Amino acid sequence: MKKIFLTGASSGIGLAIAKLLVAQGHEVWGTSRNLERLPKLPRLHGVVLDLSDRPSIDEAFNTALAEAGYFDVLINNAGAGHFDPAELLPLESISSQFQILVFGQIQLMQLALRHMRAREEGLIINVTSLASRLPVPFMAAYNAAKAALASFTMSMQLELPDSGVRIVDLQPADIRTEFNQSVIKDTKTDPHYAAAVSKTWGIVERNMNNAPSPDLVARRVLDLVNAVRPAPRITVGDVFQSKIAPLIFRFLPQQVRLWGLRRYYDL
């Protein structure tokens, strides 16, 4: 049995992870901005957390840590998204994305590392996104924030090779959740972008509806939790998005990558 701190446990990928981990006998401290959204499950402890509020991050983690005694695993999963032309995206929206998807999650990593390093063991799983490498049009802030967290994760992997703490970059492709329903969109799109925005959103919705369920990600997380030496980066999703596309794009020049992504999103 391991003690696990999991953000974004009330829906989507986080909820699937929480359900599977507690079913396997692990103790999970799952966060949500609203504890009423968390299911009542044995071994699932609710923690109020708003990643946009920096002081509350310290309070939430330290309160949970005092109750748990220690954490074997931190899973940074909570997320949010904006869908707008990058040219018109307000700086406040970009800042919000980076606070939730980068700064808040780095803050949790630093809090967890203080205690894991003292115990000379632990696992941190950062759920980034394949969009960090294959960006989605009109989600520039989300793509960039996920890429920043992926890069920060790799930097920490370089700096902590012998610490006993393992850090994993888990990159889901499209996964069938309610994430799109929570994505913030500008209802007054500039006419110059209107057709492309509408077309791209239709494809994003189609891909989401045809994607694997979040249970696929949960099973990979369980494998990581149980692994002695987990891989530093893992992609998860359908075969084309998670395996074939990243492999092909790795060897292509940027101009060809852009052409391929435009074709994929019919731009």
**Diameter of the chain measured on Cα atoms:** 57
In whole angstroms, give the CA distance from residue 192 to residue 262.
Answer: 17
The full length of the chain comes to: 267
Active site residues: 142, 146
9 contacts: CB under 8 Å, gap ≥ 6 = 15, 17, 18, 28, 30, 31, 32, 38, 44, 77
CA-wise closest residue to 133 among 172, 84, 189, 180: 172
Determine if residue 120 is left, alpha or beta; phi over 0 gives left, psi from -120 to 50 gives alpha, anything else beta: left
> Are residues 46 and 36 in contact, defined by beta-carbon separation less than 8 angstroms?
no
Q: At what angle do helices 12-23 and 215-226 cross, to 10 degrees?
A: 50
Distance CA 177, CA 159 (A): 34
Rg of the Cα atoms in the chain: 18
Sign of the Cα pseudo-torsion (247, 249, 252, 253, in order) = negative
Q: For residue 258, how many other CB atoms are within 10 A of its CB?
A: 13
Cα angle: 189, vertex 131, 204; to 5 degrees:
50
